[in-house]
Structure 1
Amino acid sequence: MVETLRGGVIGAGVFGGHHARKYASLPGVTLSAVLDPHPERAAALAVPLGGRAFADLDAFLEAVDVVTIASPAPFHAEQALAAIKAGRHVYIEKPIAVSVADAEALQAEAARRGLVVACGHQERVLFQAMGLFDIPEQPLRLEAVRHGTPSERSLDVSVVLDLMIHDLDLALSLSAAEPVTAEGEGRIAASGTWDTARAEVTFDDGFTAEFDVSRMAQMRKRKMKIVYPSGELEIDFLTRDFHNSTGYPLNPGFAETPAAQDTLATSVACFLAAVRGEAPRPIVTAAEATRALDLALAVEQGLAG
């Protein structure tokens, strides 16, 4: 009989709540613990789901087998590294860290200990459900627009690490080429960091990718256009439909698949399967998340330049 894993969540905010509920509902795992510097918030999340609230990291780590890091981004690397050193498998909400050195350090420590590290770039699940990774061509151009309305969430990082990094990861997942330049412009608003940004990234095979992000928009917009030698694909992530002129068969009903209907559950379940040895890897590995972070930081440098 397979042992039930004890799941723990660091961070009792919105995303921590989502992860806690997945651990409480997925098979083969229970929600054991929630850690938050505000004990009342931790208890309000953990107790109704059958878990316990913690304010001490060491005690929390003793109570869990797998950990989700859903705290503010500047704490991701420190908390993930502590969990890894305690022998715990880790799922980190994006970004994996706020510096490449920190991301590489936790990646190396996990590899040394044989532990699984996953990162929450969940929209890869949608690409898988569409069948997009099966197109046997390299893209020529990608255009992504991701606009969100004002929110108090994630203001401790720029809009590049908050929103654009999703589309940077998707671009990297589609192309075998390496990014070589990143240029752009942005606007610093109330958060004190970049709240809108436009960037163009060029790759060593001629592939170009353009990104337009904002967290100060009046309405949400999330679209992507991918140009291939054989045709174009236009995706609306809000309506979850697409127009495909490539000639390659994609799944028009992808939005109705269980994976696409709950991308977080799919991502967490794959992480748990990798922990159990039932899957070769999580949907997004630490190495892939570090690559997306590296490109995101290059874009930030391009904005500043």
Structure 2
Amino acid sequence: MKKIKVGVIGVGYLGNFHAQKYAAMEQVELVGVFDRNEARAREVAEACHAKPFTAYHELIKEIEAVSIVTPTTFHHQVGMECLQAGLDVMVEKPITVSLAEADELVQLAADKECILQVGHLERFNPGVMALEHYLDNPIYIESQRIHQFNPRGNDVDVVLDLMIHDIDIILSLVQAPLESIHPLGASIVTNSTDVASAQLIFANGCAATVSASRIAQTNVRQLVIHQQKSSLFVDYGKKDIIVVERSGAMTKTGFPVEEATHLPFPDQGDALLTELRHFIDSVRSRRQPRVSGTEGRQALAIALQVISALQEQQAARNLS
């Protein structure tokens, strides 16, 4: 089987892992990598037995598919050039910094008949993928993504850095339009929002509460899904899933009879490898990926609504 020629544009912390995963795939030829830091590009290229490029335009000429792992502000520019050249594109999340830019990427991918996948990594988390078997019209969803402070990734606020993961997951779980958003948040240690929460209300009556922080003392990553006959509890850190099923019977005190089952995370390797293999499978099969450009755009749209509301709240606080 012919190998797909792939490149990575941006090989900082995360881009380095993209390069490593591609280099290990039998069906892929990692042609080269580009980074504005030429020494970094050489370092990663040497480790992955690829070629370092000093201009990404030159890399584009030699490949069929690409991972764009640059700062978010460059996603649109680099993505448009890659799609214009006919490349299939895997772009890290968020897809872009604005809906107008996202729309242009999605439209160009459609016009060029190119694959456009957005790197919402948590969709490929084995725990999230295992939930699909137990889903039955969620009524209420709670998510927490609480991280210790890390200077990396602070080119965007906590909504685009962390919360957008859970927004994307919730959109994939609730098959109904979003009706309203009620956010809260604050800037604590950076110039943008560092801690935020939002209540999402959907047209089918489902509600979700999403919380994110990047200034915590400990890391917490959890997802809870309440349904009519069951509740699902996912702890990403402990790699544990608890399924609580309600039979309909009642105890003497009037509480529903419940049966809890602990499920280990499926052994599917690491999520990034699964995600990139899925991208390569989409490139080969020409099927739409699990997280398309359109879905990346939808997650961005809600994240930007949250950010806009938080900015209005901050402006009101400044006036008081």
TM-score of the pair, normalised by structure 2: 0.89
- In structure 1, stretches of 5+ residues that fail to align are none
Partner of 1:266 in structure 2?
A: 274
Partner of 1:161 in structure 2?
A: 160
The 3-state SS of whatever aligns with 1:45 is: helix
Q: How does 1:120-269 map to 2 (within 5 A)?
A: 120-126=119-125, 130-135=129-134, 137-246=136-245, 255-258=265-268, 261-269=269-277
Instruction: Please tell me whether residue 303 in structure 1 is matched to residue 307 in structure 2.
Output: no
The 3-state SS of whatever aligns with 2:169 is: helix
Q: Is the 8 A contact 1:131 1:250 kept in 2?
A: no
Task: Choose which of 274, 278, 289 in structure 2 pairs with 1:282.
Answer: 289
Alignment deviations for residues 128-169 of structure 1 (CA, whole Å, 9 cap, x no partner): 765322345211111111111111111111100000000000
Task: Choose which of 274, 297, 300 in structure 2 pairs with 1:293.
Answer: 300
Q: Is the 8 A contact 2:197 2:211 kept in 1?
A: yes
Q: Which has the higher strand share?
A: 2
Partner of 1:73 in structure 2?
A: 72
Q: Is the 8 A contact 1:130 1:254 kept in 2?
A: no
Offset, 1:48: 2.0
The 3-state SS of whatever aligns with 2:164 is: helix
Partner of 2:100 in structure 1?
A: 101
Q: Is the 8 A contact 1:130 1:250 kept in 2?
A: no
For the pair shown, the structure with the greater C-alpha radius of gyration is 2
Structure 1's 247 and 121: CA in aligned 2 closer, same or farther, altered over 3 A?
farther
The 3-state SS of whatever aligns with 1:246 is: strand
Offset, 1:256: 3.9
Structure 1's 136 and 219: CA in aligned 2 closer, same or farther, altered over 3 A?
closer
- For 1:136 and 1:238, how far apart are their aligned partners in 2? 21
Offset, 1:35: 0.9
Offset, 1:222: 0.5
Q: Is the 8 A contact 2:126 2:265 kept in 1?
A: no
Structure 1's 162 and 230: CA in aligned 2 closer, same or farther, altered over 3 A?
same
- For 1:155 and 1:48, how far apart are their aligned partners in 2? 27
Partner of 1:52 in structure 2?
A: 51
Offset, 1:63: 2.1
- For 2:39 and 2:201, how far apart are their aligned partners in 1? 48
Q: Is the 8 A contact 2:241 2:265 kept in 1?
A: no
- For 1:223 and 1:299, how far apart are their aligned partners in 2? 20
The 3-state SS of whatever aligns with 1:148 is: strand
The 3-state SS of whatever aligns with 2:125 is: helix
Structure 1's 250 and 263: CA in aligned 2 closer, same or farther, altered over 3 A?
farther
CA-atom RMSD, angstroms?
2.0
Q: How does 1:77-96 map to 2 (within 5 A)?
A: 77-96=76-95
- For 2:18 and 2:302, how far apart are their aligned partners in 1? 27
The 3-state SS of whatever aligns with 2:81 is: helix
Offset, 1:253: 5.1
- For 2:128 and 2:4, how far apart are their aligned partners in 1? 27
The sequence identity of aligned pairs, in percent, is 32
- In structure 2, stretches of 5+ residues that fail to align are 248-258, 313-320
Alignment deviations for residues 238-260 of structure 1 (CA, whole Å, 9 cap, x no partner): 111021113699996552422xx
TM-score of the pair, normalised by structure 1: 0.93
Name the count of aligned residue pairs: 301
Offset, 1:43: 0.7
